Amino acid sequence: MTVLVPTMGALHKGHQALIKRARTLDKDVIVSIFVNPLQFENKADLEKYPRSPERDIEIATIAGATEVWFPEYEDLYPEGFKTLSSGALGNLYEGSSRPGHFDGVVTVIDRLCAIAKPDKAVFGEKDFQQLTIVKAMKSKIEIVAVPTVREFDGLAMSSRNLRLSETGRSVALVIHRALAAAKLAPTVEIAQEILNTTLSMEPGFDKDYATIIDEKDFSLADEGTENRRAIIAGWVEGVRLIDNMPMVGR
């Protein structure tokens, strides 16, 4: 039995949590490291994506990977390959700001799984829309979710954090501040207001969206929504950051 942990490298504690979780599921854990060009709508973002293969091998192995796999572009995408569609959810939020992003994600996951043939695959809740879309892929592979790993001050672990200056990093904390404050709000309306107000107080944060959604289909949450989640995306120093948190329902 094999578990796949798909990654794009620049591994950090968040990835380590995924690998450790994978290790509890089965004894063979493959960590794939592939910066997937298909999911980058922005070429500069692709070029700037941090790469640290040697360190990645070390981190993955210490966390419990039994194989670290660096597929080549040609292995995954032979001539004439077809890009898959991520469906309606793939066009909302992250998909709306990053056209084609989720089609690239589902395509690479499909190819990685076709080659590695895992029984299970592990994904982080940090990319909650990605997790939801991957769960909806028609596949026999069991998808296991792992909660977001945060720094001591709440910043969600992300390879992109490496691109922030010290000032940028402290600006980015507004995301967690907004989520944590909204979580305690008694109604969806108040939670939404808290998100808007908190984020607007940080001039260095350039908001893309901040919304309370129904986890099921990412429609707007209302008082009747059982599983609500706040999702936030924006830019700090030109670096796109995303985060999310379940909201307390009634």
By annotation, the residues acting in catalysis are 15
For ligand PAF, which is the closer residue by CB, 7 or 86? 7
- Residue type (1 letter), 151: E
3-state secondary structure 58-103: HHHHHHCCCEEECCCHHHHCCCCCCCCCCCHHHHCCHHHHCCCHHH
- The least CB distance from residue 249 to ligand PAF, in Å, is 27
For ligand PAF, which is the closer residue by CB, 130 or 192? 130
For ligand PAF, which is the closer residue by CB, 134 or 195? 134
- The least CB distance from residue 36 to ligand PAF, in Å, is 4
CA distances from 85 to 37, 90, 107, 122, 205 (A): 16, 8, 8, 21, 32
Question: Cα 102 to the chain's mean position, in Å?
Answer: 11
For ligand PAF, which is the closer residue by CB, 86 or 192? 86
Structure tokens that stand for 79 in this block: 């001539």
- The least CB distance from residue 75 to ligand PAF, in Å, is 14
- The least CB distance from residue 125 to ligand PAF, in Å, is 11
Binding footprint of ligand PAF on the chain (CB under 6 A) = 6-8, 36, 39, 105, 108, 127, 130
Strand 120-124: give its sheet, edge to edge.
67-69, 28-33, 2-7, 120-124, 142-146
Size (the chain), residues: 250
